[in-house]
Structure 1
Amino acid sequence: MPITWSDDVQSVFAGDLVAAAAYLTPAGGAIVIPVSPIGLVDRAAGSVAMTTSLAFPAKLRRLLQEPRVAMAYHTREHGFATDPRLVLAQGTAVVPEEPSPEQLARVNEQAGKFFGELPTGRFWNWALREYLEYRLIVDISLSRVVTWPDAAAKGTPELFGAALPEAPAPQEPPAKGTGPRVDTAKFARRARRMAHQTIAYRGGDGYPVIAPVRVTGHSERGLHLDVTPGLLPPGGRRAGFAAHAFRPQAAGVSNRIGTGWLEVTDGAAVWAPHTAGGFSSPPSKTFHLLGNGLLSKHLIRKLRRDGTLDELARLRAGVAS
């Protein structure tokens, strides 16, 4: 039977412009990225959804291999939700072979609500073709929803669905060591400029957990994080980090994303970045759309030439059957 949740949680699912999504890595860590869920929620089915582009096959391959995912609705900025609570949703991703016409119609309707109407005409139809057509709607059948009264996850949490698991045990350190492998000072400086910062790790029952944090400084050990006491498990483990900011209609996006090693001792949390990436887009919605369209066009053509699109189609068909 699908899980149920409160009206307050429903308003957050339906209204946040940008959320954080996390999926697991083969090594037992997690990657967390900002996404625009555009209010895709089916309360009767106990599910939420996100869209993903075929232009970025690594995420899609991983979801097909390991479908346990999490979504953290934590921003409340420039969207329609006003309730201040943080909502963590955990569940199983269902990647379709192809989106249904009904799903695509729903996505187009919701995208217009959150992003505004798309430009039309011969040029824009060409520029946005791959951006719009090569997308999949990934439904997430929820097992658990946890909500806290505010965005920093302070106060008594409310639980819907499966009981919370025991805290995960510390993980074995990576063979190459736990220390930073990228420029920590640069990573910290860029991350601190962004309004929203999260960290994700593999929870005690195998689902990703996403927690809000704030970068307060850095040292040779990594980024020093301020986090609500008790929110992160003690010990060391692989963890992903994402800092992001955005403007109305999700224009002017900036993010800084990485994977690394999280160490929590005596209430202090330090995250050492091992990989780093990110980008900033122009604040103009027109340039943002044009950039997304042309990048998608380039990547889709490349993936078609090297056979990746055919490979993904076979993988999706195998999972669907």
Structure 2
Amino acid sequence: MAVTWPDEVDDVLGGDLTCAAAYVTPAGGAVVSAVSPIGLRDRAAGTVGFTTSLGFGRKLERMKREPKVALAYHAREHGIGSRENSRFVLVQGTAAFDPTPDQEALDRLGAQATPYLGAPRRGVFWDRWLRAYYADRVVVTVTVDRIVVWPDLDAAGTPEILGAAAPSVEPATQQPPAKGTGPRVDVARTAAQATKLPHRLLGYRQADGYPAVVPVQVTGSSADGVRLTVPAGLPQGGRRAGLLAHEYRSQLIGLESRQNTGWLEVSGTEAVYAPHTASGFKAPPNKTILLLGNGFLARRGLAKARKSGLVEALR
């Protein structure tokens, strides 16, 4: 039977402007990125969704190979739901997507996005410039297997579980990477970038194979890695994990995102995160510049996806 949810959770799923999506890597780690859910959900069918781009083909390839994903709804600002709703909602489920949606599906997506992102720019120039941007859109639909609801955005206390029961055992400590567990990118820079952004989330693989995402706080850095405070109940010991720090403004006009993959060592509610890779971007708070950039990146990403055979591979 489909997993359903109460009104107070639906307010979060339908209201948040962004959420954090996590997928599992072949090595058993997790990658976490900020995505736009634009209210995509169907309580009767037990599904939620988000949009992404063919230009992020690696994400789609990983989800096709291992469709267990998680969405963490963790922020209320600039959305259309209740600001007083302080729940941290983690949705875990199975992802599916159509890499080549038809025009009717794209039109429906545009109408769905308007309350969150504003009306699209129209005109001879913008219609041509943004054609690739809209054609590049992919909707990922997640069939919900479990929803974990904490009463507060810091994910403290005992959560409510809807759907499948949570794993009864912790995931085993993972084998260290062949190249070692120590930092491979600048720790101080990683900590500084994460500290200045308001939202920081950590993703890892649970014992049942689903990724989990929780909020964390940065408390400092050392030669070993970024110092974190994590919610109680995180699996102890060492494992691969992903770190996301981000912020965004109204209608996503102005945003910054910083992503890392690396090695996590947890002891109680304290942890050390050794970053192994780093990526990110920053978009200016100017809609015209943002749309010009989106159009350029979409054209490049769509051309690359077609040339590389990604679209056919995803089918």
TM-score range, shorter chain: over 0.9
> Does the CA-based 8 Å contact 1:95-1:316 persist in structure 2?
no
Query: Alpha-carbon deviation of 1:302?
Result: 3.3
Query: Alpha-carbon deviation of 1:216?
Result: 1.2
Mapped to 1, the partners of 2:236 and 2:314 lie a distance apart of: 38
Partner of 2:134: 132
Match of 2:313 among 312, 315, 320: 315
Aligned residue identity for 1:315: A
C-alpha distance after superposition, 1:29-73 (max 9, x if no partner)? 000000111010111110101112112211111111111100000
Alignment of 1:106-255 (within 5 A): 106-165=108-167, 166-230=169-233, 232-255=234-257
The number of equivalent residue pairs is 312
Alignment of 1:71-82 (within 5 A): 71-82=71-82
Aligned residue identity for 1:104: L
- Cα RMSD of the aligned pairs, angstroms, is 1.3
Aligned residue identity for 1:66: E
Partner of 2:295: 293
> Does the CA-based 8 Å contact 1:103-1:137 persist in structure 2?
no
Mapped to 2, the partners of 1:46 and 1:100 lie a distance apart of: 23
C-alpha distance after superposition, 1:260-300 (max 9, x if no partner)? 00000243211110000111110112211211111111222
> Does the CA-based 8 Å contact 2:48-2:144 persist in structure 1?
yes
3-state DSSP of counterpart to 2:75? coil
- After the TM superposition, list the runs of 4 or more consecutive aligned residues in structure 1 that deviate by more than 3 angstroms: 100-103
Query: Alpha-carbon deviation of 1:186?
Result: 0.7
Mapped to 2, the partners of 1:103 and 1:10 lie a distance apart of: 23
Mapped to 1, the partners of 2:4 and 2:71 lie a distance apart of: 16
Matched, 1:66 2:69: no
Matched, 1:9 2:26: no
Query: Alpha-carbon deviation of 1:97?
Result: 4.9
Query: Alpha-carbon deviation of 1:101?
Result: 5.2
Mapped to 2, the partners of 1:266 and 1:145 lie a distance apart of: 24
Query: Alpha-carbon deviation of 1:119?
Result: 1.0
> Does the CA-based 8 Å contact 1:152-1:227 persist in structure 2?
no
Partner of 2:304: 302
The percentage of aligned residue pairs carrying the same residue is 52
Mapped to 1, the partners of 2:171 and 2:251 lie a distance apart of: 37
Partner of 2:286: 284
Aligned residue identity for 2:73: Y
Partner of 1:36: 36
Give unpaired runs (5+ residues) of structure 2: none
Mapped to 2, the partners of 1:303 and 1:313 lie a distance apart of: 6
Give unpaired runs (5+ residues) of structure 1: none
3-state DSSP of counterpart to 1:132? helix
TM-score by length of 2: 0.96
